[in-house]
Amino acid sequence: MLRWIVWRDLMLAWRRRADMLSTVFFFVIVVSLFPLGIGPETQLLRTIAPGVVWVAALLASMLSLGRLFANDYQDGTLEQLLLTPQPLFLVVLGKTLAHWIVSEVPLVLIAPLVGVQFDLSRETLWILFVSLLLGTPVLSLIGSVGAALTLGLRGGGVLISILVLPLYIPALIFGSGAVEASIMGVNPAPHIYLLGAFAIVSAIFSPWATAAALRISLE
C-alpha cells in the first residue's frame, strides 16, 4: 500500500510538471546569481560555495513543502487517506518519499552542475552531491511536520518557513561543513557521518510527528 501512495503522488506530480520544474529553476537561478553578482573572484567564490548551494536548497524545498498536504486537503482526498486501514505514519512516509523524489532529487542531481560556477574541484563536487543526497531527505522529513502543522492556515507558507528553517540548521551545518572540509583538503567523512545519523533520526521520528500533526489539523 505504501508503494501505491508513492505511485499516486508521483503520478500527480507528473501531471503537474510545472510545479516540479519551478522548484528546480528557483534553485538553479538563486545559486547562479552569486557568481554573477560577485564576479570572477575564484577564491571568494570557492569560500562561499558550500553555504550558497545549501541555503538555496533549503529555500527551494520551502517552495514545494506547502503543496505536500494542501492539495489533498482541499479536495478531500487527505481525509480519505487518513481513513485507510493502515498506520498513518506509513501514509506520511509514502508522501514524504514521493516529495523527496519529486522536489529534492532533481536538486541533488543538478547541484554538481551549478557547482561548477564556483570553481570547485571534481572531488568537492562529488562531496557536494553526497552531502545533498544525505541531507535532502532530512529537509523533506522535517518539512513534512511543518507542512502538517500549518495545514489549512491562512498564510501557511510563511509560517512553514519560520517553523521549519531553524530545524534545518543541523543539516545545513554538517552539509556545508562537509563541502567546506573538502575544499580545505580536510577529510569530510565526519560531517557526512553526522549528516547520515541526522537523516536516520529524522526518518524515525518525523513520520510520527507528522501523523500526529495531521490528526490535529484535520480534527
Partner 1 sequence: MSPGTFVQLTGPNGSGKTSLLRILCGLAAPAEGEVKWNGADIRSLGEEYVASVTYLGHRHGVKDELSAIENLRISNAVNGVDVSQERARAALKDMGLGGRESLPARFLSEGQRRRAGLARLLVCNTTLWLLDEVLTSLDKGAVALVRSLIENHLNDGGIAIVATHQELELSTGRFQRLELTT
The residues binding partner 1 (CB under 8 A) are 1, 4-5, 7-8, 11-12, 15-16, 74-77, 79-87, 91, 218-219
Angstrom distance (rounded) from CA 155 to CA 176: 30
Angstrom distance (rounded) from CA 187 to CA 24: 30
Backbone angles phi, psi at 72, to 5 degrees: -65, -30
* Terminal-residue alpha carbon distance, the chain: 24
Neighbouring residues of 25: CB distance < 8 A, sequence distance ≥ 6: none
Q: Cβ of residue 76: shortest distance to partner 1, in angstroms?
A: 3
Retrieve residue 63's grid coordinates: 517552495
User: 101 vs 218, which CB is nearer to partner 1?
Assistant: 218
User: 11 vs 116, which CB is nearer to partner 1?
Assistant: 11
> By CB neighbour count within 10 A (0-12 exposed, 13-18 middle, 19+ buried), where does 120 fall?
buried
User: 75 vs 122, which CB is nearer to partner 1?
Assistant: 75
Q: Cβ of residue 15: shortest distance to partner 1, in angstroms?
A: 4
Q: Cβ of residue 183: shortest distance to partner 1, in angstroms?
A: 43
Retrieve residue 213's grid coordinates: 500533526
Neighbouring residues of 122: CB distance < 8 A, sequence distance ≥ 6: none
User: 29 vs 215, which CB is nearer to partner 1?
Assistant: 215
User: 4 vs 193, which CB is nearer to partner 1?
Assistant: 4
Q: Cβ of residue 214: shortest distance to partner 1, in angstroms?
A: 11
Q: Cβ of residue 207: shortest distance to partner 1, in angstroms?
A: 16
